[in-house]
Amino acid sequence: MKRAFPILWVVTVLLLAYGLYQALVVAPTEATMGPVQRIFYYHVPCAWTAFCLFFTNLFASVVYLIWKNNKADSLAVASAEVGVMFCTIVLITGPIWARPVWGIWWTWDVRLTTTLVLWLIYVSYLMLRRFSDTAQTPVLAAVLAVFGALDVPLVYFSIWFFRTQHPQPVMGKGGSLAPAMLHAFLINLLAFSVFGAMICWSRFRLETLKREVEQAHAMESLGGPGVPETTSLPLSRSAR
């Protein structure tokens, strides 16, 4: 698996480059919105990637709660962090797109608000992981992830109803997509999905390495010589 790592990165970069070319050059300019519409080729794939990563975190958290598998916890950390990063991109490119097209930076529509709340929940998740330095942090974080997952449908539903009561400007994506646009969109969707998975994998490897180093530190302070075999003992985070 590890051999494939560099090759897959090359593939990823090529896909992203092709996607960029498609988005900026090949795809036709949209009639109503103009060139600004091209932000769509980045904004939506990033949103899709972010949601996939958050779902991965939920999955990993549940696996951890049931089986206490440390790899699951490492995956939870990785997917949360990378997910927040992609979600940040979504929340920044969204208003940048909305301003010239619809004249407003923000609107409390269902998609945008749910994305914001998801971002808030996962930032609080990362804060919990940062501020909690003990051996039970993985369990606490996993429980928080479950609470967050329970919350999301409620958020969606409450905003949806609010919108039916208080109609606000609709920030749609414009009309149907021409075939060339759809092509560009799908390429970028694939490119960002692969990109997100690769960054998550990298972050996962980083997390695994970090735990190895902590184990080594711990063994060293216990007086044992050299670097031990990696065990699956969860240890408290000592030096950062």
User: Which of 14, 31, 92, 182 lies at the binding interface for other proteins (CB under 8 A)?
Assistant: 92
- Which residue in 18, 59, 62, 88 binds other proteins (CB under 8 A)? 88
Stretch that binds other proteins, among 53-61, 69-77, 116-124, 174-182 (CB under 8 A): 116-124
Choices 56-64, 69-77, 143-151, 171-179; region in contact with other proteins by CB under 8 A? 143-151
Q: Which of 48, 59, 102, 162 binds other proteins (CB under 8 A)?
A: 162
Instruction: Tell me the C-alpha to C-alpha distance, in Å, between residue 233 and each of 105, 179, 238.
Output: 48, 53, 14
Site for other proteins contains 128 (CB under 8 A):
yes
How open is the CA angle 6-187-101, to the nearest 5 degrees?
Answer: 125
**Comparison of 190 and 206: residue with beta carbon closer to other proteins:** 206
CA distance 72 to 132: 18
First-to-last alpha carbon distance for the chain, in angstroms, is 28
Dihedral sign for Cα atoms in the order 106, 110, 114, 115: negative
x/- string (CB under 8 A) for other proteins, residues 181-210?
------------------x--xx-xx--xx
- On the CB side of 202, CA atoms within 13 Å amount to 12
Q: State which of positions 30-69 bind other proteins (CB under 8 A).
A: 34-36, 38-39, 42-43, 46, 65
Provide the minimum distance between the beta carbon of 25 and other proteins in the complex, in angstroms, as a whole number.
13
Residue 161 contacts other proteins per CB under 8 A? yes
Question: What is the rounded distance in angstroms from the CA atom of residue 43 to the CA atom of residue 221?
Answer: 48
Please list, in sequence order, all residues whose beta carbon lies within 8 angstroms of the beta carbon of residue 82, skipping any fewer than 6 positions away. Answer: 53, 196, 199, 200, 203
Which residue stretch of 53-61, 141-149, 168-176, 177-185 sits at the interface with other proteins (rule: CB under 8 A)?
141-149
Does 17 engage in binding with other proteins (CB under 8 A)? no
Burial of 23 (0-12, 13-18, 19+ CB in 10 A): buried
Q: Residue 34 forms beta bridges with which residues?
A: 30
Query: With the CA atoms of 14, 43, 98 and 36 taken in that order, what torsion angle do they form, in degrees rounded to the nearest 10?
Result: 20
Give the interface with other proteins as residue ranges (CB under 8 A).
24, 34-36, 38-39, 42-43, 46, 65, 82, 85, 88-89, 92-93, 96-97, 99-101, 117, 120-121, 123-124, 127-128, 131-136, 139-140, 143-144, 146-148, 150-151, 154-155, 157-159, 161-162, 165, 199, 202-203, 205-206, 209-210, 212-213, 216-217, 220, 225-227
